Amino acid sequence: DQQVKQNSPSLSVQEGRISILNCDYTNSMFDYFLWYKKYPAEGPTFLISISSIKDKNEDGRFTVFLNKSAKHLSLHIVPSQPGDSAVYFCAASSYGGSQGNLIFGKGTKLSVKP
């Protein structure tokens, strides 16, 4: 049973446009969410996180939106750059992340075309 779902395996976007990556979760106990970016043969790199007490968090070109009633979050990247091409993972945790174990989605491969 997959508790964190990224239903789009891939996404292609033109450079300069907005990239929107989506993530759905089923466990209502999740209250802390993170996005990671991963290049081939490297480890995931932390991008941005959001606590369930917020509905939006912004850091430079990256914004995460959380819709608790829909159990849905999204990562917006604007403007998209070719260097953003990578696999993006959504992850969730309970108890404010203090539980330690992150539950990951399967990832969405983003391709940003020049």
Partner 1 sequence: NAGVMQNPRHLVRRRGQEARLRCSPMKGHSHVYWYRQLPEEGLKFMVYLQKENIIDESGMPKERFSAEFPKEGPSILRIQQVVRGDSAAYFCASSPDRGQPQHFGDGTRLSIL
The position carrying tokens 């490297």 is 42
C-alpha span between 114 and 106 (Å, rounded): 26
Residues 55-94 that bind partner 1 (CB under 8 A): 89, 91
* Paired tokens of 43: 């480890």
Could you tell me the smallest distance in angstroms from the CB atom of residue 93 to partner 1? Answer: 9
- DSSP, res 70: T
Residues 37-56 that bind partner 1 (CB under 8 A): 41-46, 49
60 burial type by CB count under 10 A (0-12 exposed, 13-18 middle, 19+ buried) = exposed
Q: Is 4 in the site for partner 1 (CB under 8 A)?
A: yes
Shorter beta-carbon distance to partner 1: residue 78 or 103: 103
Q: Contact residues for partner 1 (CB under 8 A)?
A: 4, 32, 34, 36, 41-46, 49, 89, 91, 95-107
